[in-house]
Structure formats: structure tokens, C-alpha cells
């Protein structure tokens, strides 16, 4: 880019300008000023007040200008304000200084004999985009100064400028930088706090969910005590249901609901009189009717508990048949919740392969034949199809893990490795 050749005011004019400023303020020095300004000359009303204490002490400022007397004047003014100032006569020297030291602010001339101020601005922002840069230029190049702000300069100073204007601009830039830093630090701290709190919340939810499941297991154990015939049945049927649901690519969140429904499917039996529940012989029609109430009773027990409300639907429908011949509502096909359709297969699988007082357990092959036979009537053919793809070894393994001493997963562990039983 073409930048018009810019030179600062001649030294004599700068000195005149600054001396005139002193006079206007009634503080002009009586000393001659052959070169760098004397401390007396720099003693401008307002400028001697300490700069903002937040920015004054630590601020390290780099002044870049190829005119020695301009550098010196700026340096003297800023040092008097308590800033630490380093000087550079061009772009190369400035970049060297930036490599070796860190600065809070850069003041740079735009057109210098060695290195362009705009190129320096770009280099600085490439390396440190948050470092404020004030461009110093002559009045007739205001368009270049404005352009430099579009490129990320914080502000510009037009030569000749008054010292208190210089001090005010520098202070504003440093305060801006500090505000940015504080905002960044605040944001970082906030992000850390949010991350930590999110993790705490996640952990608390996990603990809460675990507590729910422990409570459910206790409920299941209570039912086992009342209805010893089904001891272990709830846990096994839950494991089978989870395995089938996973094979059907049902989402983990939904599997959790289904697993709770499967585990608590017979919870309504708590309300069934012992003489019916434990009757060794065949139930009468009236007793059967009472027994069938266990679906609705279980549903009413659970639906009031928020985290079991969805699972209650499975409890209510777990005795429905795919062809509508089940109870309590005679629902047909997809009107039966998918969890209940999956459960139905798992329930029969466990019932056939478990001992009952009136018969011994049959094999998993026998269960397979029975499930195939009832596909489309009692069972959803889609669930049966998935069930048939799973080898009997997996069901055997799940069963032995639940009934054996070496249980390796909890009742509601939905991550049991269905596809890799040797894990
Ligand atoms: Fe049942």
C-alpha cells in the first residue's frame, strides 16, 4: 500500500508548540530548550497528576518514532507520569524490543524512515491482538490514521499534540486494555465455575439416579419376599429386556425407562392377597380376576412417582398380547408400548427357563420354540426376529451372572456388553 511520506514537525516547531502550551497554561519554563525537553517544561497543569493508579505503576510503554526529539518528548512526559518507557527508532527495532520484552501499550509513528507504522501495527496484532496501539501522525494524514483504526489501532494522536492530551489518550488506552483483561479473566473464571458446577450437577444427578435404582431394587426384593415363586425373576427379566432393547437400537434414555418398567412389572402383586398369590393349585375365575388387577394396581402405585411415571405405562400394559387377546385393555400391535412388547418376550423366556413349584425349568431351545410359536399372537414379530438373532449362550450367561455369586453388573446397568459376552 502506498503511504504518503510523512515527517513529524521539525524539532523547532515541536518545541515551540510545547512551549506555547506551557505559556497558555502559565507554566512555561524559563529554560532554553536546545534538545530534549527539560522536566520543568514537561510540568504541564494536569499532566503532573499521577495517572490512574490502576494503570500507572506497571505500565510498560514502547514509543516508536524515527525523530529523536519526538521520542524524547513523549518519553519524558510519560515517565513523569510514572510509566516505564522504551524507545525504538523504527519498525525493526520495535519488533526486536517486542521479542525481548512485554509491553502494555505501543505508540508508533505511521511513516518512518525504517519501517512503516501500519505494517508494525499488523505485526503486533498478529502476535498479540490485545495489545493496544496508538498511531501518531501529522494532521494532513488523518485519513491514514483513521484507516489504521479500522485495522485495529486503539486511537491516534495528531502532531502536534498537547501533553495532557497525550497523557489522557495513553491512560484511556491502558484502562481499555485492563478492562479487556479483566473481562477475559472474568469470562475464563466464569467458564471454569460453570464447568465445575455442571460436573457437580452431573455427579449429583448420577448419585440421585443411583439412589433411585437402589430404592427400586429394595422394592423388587420386597416383592420377592412376598412372592417367592418369582425370586430373581424381576432381575433376570430386566436383564433380558435390556439386552433385547439394545439389540433393537432403542435409545439409552428409553431403555432406562423400559428397564424400570420391566423390573417393577409385577409390583402390583404386593396388593394381591397372599392366599391367591401363593395358592398352589389353579386359580378360580374370581381369583384370576383379582390376580389380573395387579397391572392396574402397579400402575397406580408408580404413576405418582415422577421418575417412574413413564415406567408405570409398561407396568400397566405388560400383560397385553400383540393380537389383542391380553389384558387389562386388550391393546393390539403398536398400541402396546414397545417396552411392554419387548418385556413380553423376555418374561416368557425367563418363565420357561425357570423352575416352578409345579414343573421344572425347560431349556432355552424350548423357550425359543415357544416364542416362535407365539410370534404374531402373543408377541410382536419384530421383537421375536431380534430375539432369534441372539444366541442362547448370551441368555445363559446373563442368567448365570444374575443368579450366581459373581454378579458383575447392577440390575439397571444398560451397558451390559450384549455383542461381546466375553468382555
Ligand atoms: Fe405380571
292 Cα–ligand 1 center, Å? 8
Cα separation of 156 and 169, whole Å? 8
- Spatial neighbors of 367 by CB under 8 A, at least 6 apart, are 348, 349, 352, 353
46 Cα–ligand 1 center, Å? 90
- Spatial neighbors of 138 by CB under 8 A, at least 6 apart, are 6, 7, 8, 9, 158, 159
273 Cα–ligand 1 center, Å? 15
130 Cα–ligand 1 center, Å? 69
335 Cα–ligand 1 center, Å? 19
Cα separation of 204 and 182, whole Å? 32
Q: What is residue 50's three-state secondary structure?
A: coil
Q: Is 268 exposed, middle or buried (0-12, 13-18, 19+ CB in 10 A)?
A: buried
Cα separation of 71 and 87, whole Å? 7
291 Cα–ligand 1 center, Å? 9
296 Cα–ligand 1 center, Å? 11
261 Cα–ligand 1 center, Å? 11
Q: What is residue 279's three-state secondary structure?
A: coil
Local confidence pLDDT in tens for the 423 residues of the chain: 333 333 444 455 555 555 554 444 433 333 333 333 333 223 333 444 455 544 445 689 999 999 999 999 999 999 999 999 999 999 999 999 999 999 999 999 988 887 789 899 999 988 888 899 999 987 677 788 788 888 899 999 988 888 899 999 999 999 999 898 899 999 999 999 999 999 999 999 889 888 888 888 888 878 877 776 666 888 899 999 999 999 999 999 999 999 999 999 999 998 999 899 888 788 999 999 999 999 999 999 999 988 899 999 999 999 999 999 999 999 999 999 999 999 999 999 999 998 877 778 899 999 999 999 999 999 999 999 999 999 999 999 998 888 764 444 466 776 654 443 333
CB 321 within 8 A of CB 384: no
Cα separation of 315 and 267, whole Å? 8
Where on the phi/psi map is residue 152: left (φ > 0), alpha (ψ -120 to 50), or beta?
Answer: left
CB 166 within 8 A of CB 20: no
Q: pTM to 2 decimals? A: 0.58
262 Cα–ligand 1 center, Å? 10
Amino acid at each position: 500500500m502506498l503511504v504518503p511520506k510523512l515527517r513529524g514537525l521539525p524539532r523547532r516547531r515541536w518545541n515551540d508548540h510545547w512551549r506555547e502550551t506551557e505559556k497558555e497554561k502559565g507554566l512555561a519554563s524559563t529554560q532554553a530548550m536546545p534538545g530534549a525537553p527539560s522536566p520543568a517544561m514537561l510540568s504541564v497543569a494536569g499532566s503532573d497528576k499521577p495517572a490512574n493508579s490502576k494503570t500507572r505503576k506497571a505500565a510498560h510503554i514502547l514509543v516508536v518514532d524515527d525523530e529523536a526529539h519526538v521520542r524524547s518528548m513523549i518519553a519524558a512526559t510519560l515517565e513523569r507520569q510514572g510509566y516505564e518507557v522504551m524507545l525504538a527508532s523504527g519498525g525493526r527495532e520495535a519488533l526486536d524490543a517486542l521479542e525481548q520484552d512485554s509491553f502494555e501499550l505501543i505508540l508508533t509513528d505511521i511513516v518512518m524512515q525504517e519501517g512503516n507504522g501500519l505494517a508494525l501495527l499488523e505485526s503486533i496484532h498478529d502476535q498479540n491482538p490485545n495489545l493496544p496501539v496508538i498511531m501518531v501522525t501529522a494532521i494532513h494524514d488523518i485519513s491514514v490514521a483513521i484507516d489504521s483504526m479500522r485495522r485495529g489501532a486503539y486511537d491516534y494522536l495528531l502532531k502536534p499534540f498537547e501533553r495532557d492530551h497525550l497523557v489522557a489518550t495513553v491512560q484511556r488506552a491502558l484502562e481499555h486494555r485492563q478492562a479487556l483483561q479483566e473481562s477475559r479473566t472474568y469470562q475464563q473464571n466464569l467458564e471454569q465455575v460453570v464447568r465445575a458446577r455442571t460436573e457437580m450437577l452431573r455427579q449429583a444427578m448420577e448419585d440421585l439416579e443411583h439412589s433411585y435404582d437402589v430404592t427400586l431394587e429394595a422394592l423388587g426384593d420386597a416383592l420377592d419376599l412376598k412372592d417367592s415363586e418369582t425370586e430373581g425373576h424381576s432381575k433376570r427379566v430386566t436383564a433380558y429386556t435390556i439386552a433385547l432393547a439394545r439389540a433393537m437400537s432403542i435409545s439409552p434414555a428409553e431403555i432406562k425407562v423400559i428397564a424400570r418398567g420391566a423390573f417393577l412389572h409385577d409390583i402390583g402383586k404386593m396388593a394381591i392377597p397372599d392366599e391367591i398369590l401363593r395358592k398352589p393349585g389353579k386359580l378360580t375365575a374370581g381369583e384370576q380376576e383379582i390376580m389380573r388387577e395387579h397391572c392396574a394396581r402397579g400402575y397406580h402405585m408408580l404413576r405418582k412417582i415422577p421418575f417412574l411415571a413413564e415406567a408405570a405405562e409398561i407396568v400397566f400394559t405388560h400383560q397385553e398380547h400383540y393380537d389383542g387377546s391380553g389384558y387389562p385393555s386388550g391393546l393390539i400391535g403398536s398400541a402396546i408400548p414397545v417396552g411392554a412388547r419387548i418385556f413380553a418376550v423376555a418374561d416368557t423366556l425367563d418363565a420357561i427357563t425357570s423352575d416352578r413349584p409345579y414343573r421344572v425349568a425347560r431349556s432355552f431351545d424350548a423357550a425359543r420354540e415357544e416364542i416362535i410359536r407365539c410370534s404374531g399372537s402373543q408377541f410382536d414379530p419384530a421383537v421375536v426376529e431380534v430375539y432369534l438373532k441372539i444366541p442362547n449362550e448370551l441368555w445363559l450367561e446373563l442368567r448365570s451372572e444374575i443368579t450366581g455369586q459373581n454378579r458383575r453388573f447392577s440390575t439397571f446397568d444398560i451397558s451390559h456388553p450384549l455383542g461381546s459376552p466375553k468382555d
